[in-house]
Amino acid sequence: MVDALYRRRAAAGTLLFDEGDEADCAYIVERGRVEIAASRATGNVVLTRLGPGEIFGEMALVDGAPRSASARCLDDCVFVVVGRDQIHREIAGATPLMSILLRTLIHRLRVATSRVVSPALPIGIDETARIVARIEGEHELRRALENGEVVAFLQPIVALDGAAPAGFEALARWVHPTRGLLPPTALLAPAADADLLETLDFAVAGTAARAVAALNRELGAAGRAPAFLSANFSAPHFADTQLAGRLAPMLEEAGLDPIHLKVEITETTLIVNPHAAEALARVKALGASVSLDDFGTGYSGLSYLSRFPIDHIKIDQSFTSRLVEDKRTAEIVRSVVDLARLLDISAVAEGIETPEQARRLAEMGVGFGQGYLFGAPVPADAACAAFLAA
Ligand code: C2E
Ligand code: MG
Ligand code: MG
């Protein structure tokens, strides 16, 4: 079986493959001409002659059926050979809809060009049902974003030395017309499928930024310190280095000073995007800061602290929930916080549900906390009103 892309030379007259042959590769002509022919009731018929830049033998790569025509070199030829495994990897990476479209097209073509009765289309009802569900999900999400059904809830983040509110995390919620209030899990997968994660994040961060900017004007008028906003930005934002350029007009429009924005990212984002360091440097040049979410749940959290311009870490709730009962967890958190302090990185503990957890974290030097103990995520106006009243 041919697995990689490689070149093949063949002299004029060479039969590259014959009708009925097993097929495991396609050819791209680099030099020379090739004649494609097939047997018909009237005899052997030349279907086409191909030259440099053209591809042939591709149908069998998709459906694995035997060759339906022969290919013979008219000149001394050079081909790039494309292996079946390679194509199958790419088809596997395509969306389910693209994969089904491709297979259906090949099947239709075979039915149209073959003289034998073709087998049924090798696509099951389950597979199409999954695709229909996915297409519906994408349509629904687009509609929801257009109709303003995707909103930002705000959860307070408090200073652990006294529990005074310091800022918020914006968390996506779907106010669904029939299914009620839905969590981010209902939004994130369809958004990823539909390439709408960036739109979703900006919808959430944008509405949250407007609310926090308005709150900060009121806090300023009352002589109080401004609140910060932590917002989640998913991996696709970092496919290039332009996030800062897209954030600037959003913050400007919302009226929020960039220094009050914390861009929350996860370790995965840093792993998958070679541009992440540069993109984050630009976010920081804008004045915003960078927060590493779900810290401790990934592979090598510590190395990221030295390689990327991280200002804050969010200690994952799996640590918070275990630290009172489990001495080892407590020691891990303590050393992470000590290290963060040496690196001038502030720590926020997530998922604080009990006063004992809050006390222990404060004792270890964790500066900020977030969790149901201090407040669940609530609609932005309610969260801002509670902040003002605190
Ligand atoms: P996250 O960024 O780590 O957010 C914290 C999650 O913990 C939130 O879940 C929050 O409601 C939940 N939480 C807060 N306090 C407590 C607590 O005391 N106990 C427990 N058990 N949980 C607590 P939520 O809102 O369901 O969000 C889940 C995840 O979805 C977020 O995790 C974040 O990764 C993602 N997400 C939310 N909104 C957005 C968004 O606008 N854009 C992107 N890209 N991701 C988002
Ligand atoms: Mg987060
Ligand atoms: Mg988190």
Q: Quote the longest CA-to-CA distance of the chain.
A: 93
321 lines ligand 1 (CB under 6 A): no
State the CATH number of the domain containing residue 174: 3.20.20.450
- Where are the extended beta strands (E) located within 123-189? 150-159, 165-176, 180-182
Q: Residue 124, Cα to own-chain centre: how many angstroms?
A: 28
- Contact assessment for residue 78 and residue 31, using Cβ atoms and an 8 Å cutoff: yes
Distance (Å, rounded) from C-alpha 292 to C-alpha 342? 16
Shared domain for 315 and 242, answered yes or no, is yes
Among the candidates 82, 113, 144, a domain finishes at 113
Q: What is the pLDDT of residue 187?
A: 96
SS3 198: helix
Report the number of distinct structural domains present in the chain.
Answer: 2
Q: Within this chain, do residues 95 and 145 fall inside the same structural domain, yes or no?
A: no
Going from the Cα of 256 to the center of ligand 3, the distance in angstroms, rounded, reads 23
Least confident range from 145-154, 189-198, 295-304, 331-340: namely: 295-304
Query: Letter for the amino acid at 10?
Result: A
Residue position matching structure tokens 């047997």: 39
320 CB within 6 A, ligand 1: no
Q: Is there a single domain that holds both residue 167 and residue 274?
A: yes
Percent of the chain with pLDDT over 90: 70
Same domain (yes/no): 162, 25 = no
Residue 122 lies in a domain: no
Neighbours of 224 (CB within 10 A): 14
Q: How far is the CA of 219 from the centre of ligand 1 (A)?
A: 26
Task: Count how many Cα atoms sit within 13 Å of the Cα of residue 191 in the half-sphere of its side chain.
Answer: 24
- pLDDT band at 5; cut points 50, 70, 90: low
Residue 274 carries which DSSP code? T
Which pLDDT does position 216 carry in this prediction? 98
Residue where a domain stops, chosen among 86, 113, 140: 113
Torsion of CA 176, 179, 183, 188, to 10 degrees: -70
Q: How far is the CA of 188 from the centre of ligand 2 (A)?
A: 13
Evaluate the CA torsion angle 18, 21, 27, 30 in order and state its sign: negative
Q: In the structure encoding, which two tokens stand for residue 200, read together? A: 């979703």
Domain match, 279 and 341 both: yes
Residue among 344, 293, 353 at smallest CA distance from 169: 293
On whether both 87 and 20 belong to a single domain, the answer is: yes
Same domain, 302 and 175: yes
- Give tens-digit pLDDT for 117-174: 556 666 777 777 777 788 788 889 999 999 999 999 999 999 999 989 999 999 999 9
d(CA 346, CA 367): 7
Q: How far apart are the first and last CA of the chain?
A: 69
Q: With a cut of 80, say whether residue 47 has pLDDT above it.
A: yes
| pTM of structure | 0.78
Q: Is residue 227 part of a domain?
A: yes
Q: 8 by DSSP, 3-state: which?
A: strand
Q: Give the structural domain span for 35.
A: 2-113
351 lines ligand 1 (CB under 6 A): yes
Is 356 a residue of the active site?
no
**Is 242 contained in some domain?**
yes
* pLDDT band (50, 70, 90) for residue 42: confident
Q: Mean per-residue pLDDT for 245-268?
A: 97
Number of Cα atoms under 13 Å in the Cβ half of residue 96: 14
Query: Is 360 part of any domain?
Result: yes
Is 247 part of a structural domain of the chain?
yes
With a 6 Å cutoff on the Cβ, whether 165 touches ligand 1 is: no
Q: What is the mean pLDDT of residues 288-307?
A: 85
pLDDT bucket at 90, cuts 50 / 70 / 90: confident
- 201 and 76 in a common domain: no
Catalytic residue among 146, 350, 356, 363: 350
Q: From the CB of 289, is ligand 1 less than 6 Å away?
A: no
Asked whether 353 and 319 are in contact (CB, 8 A), the reply is no
- Given a cut of 90, is residue 371 above it in pLDDT? yes
Can you give the pLDDT at residue 296?
83
Pick from 68, 80, 77, 67: which is nearest to 34 by CA?
77
For residue 328, being part of any structural domain is answered with yes
Whose CA is closest to 250, among 285, 180, 199, 303? 199
- Closest CA to ligand 1's atom 27: 184
* CATH at residue 97: 2.60.120.10
Question: Which helix (H) or strand (E) covers residue 89, if one does?
Answer: helix 84-93
Strands (E), 199-259: 228-232
List the residue whose alpha carbon is closest to atom 13 of ligand 1: 351
Please tell me whether residues 300 and 182 are part of one structural domain: yes
Q: Which ligand is nearest to the CA of 238?
A: 1
Q: Mean pLDDT in the chain?
A: 91
Q: What is the DSSP letter of 122?
A: S
- The amino acid at 371: G
Q: How remote is the CA of residue 21 from the centroid of ligand 3, in Å?
A: 55
CA of 350 from ligand 1 middle (Å) equals 9
Best probe residue, ligand 1, of 149, 171, 247, 350 (max atoms within 8 Å of C-beta): 171
Which amino acid type is present at position 302? L
- Domain-located, residue 183: yes
Q: Does residue 268 sit in the same domain as residue 382?
A: yes
In a domain, 85, yes or no: yes
Residue that terminates a domain, selected from 113, 140, 160: 113
- H helices of the chain, in order, are 59-63, 84-93, 96-113, 125-146, 185-193, 197-221, 243-254, 267-272, 276-286, 301-307, 317-322, 327-342, 355-363, 380-389
Tell me: do 263 and 385 sit in the same domain.
yes
Which atom belonging to ligand 1 lies closest to the Cα atom of 353?
Answer: 18
106 with 136, same domain: the answer is no
**Which of 269 and 133 is assigned the larger pLDDT?**
269
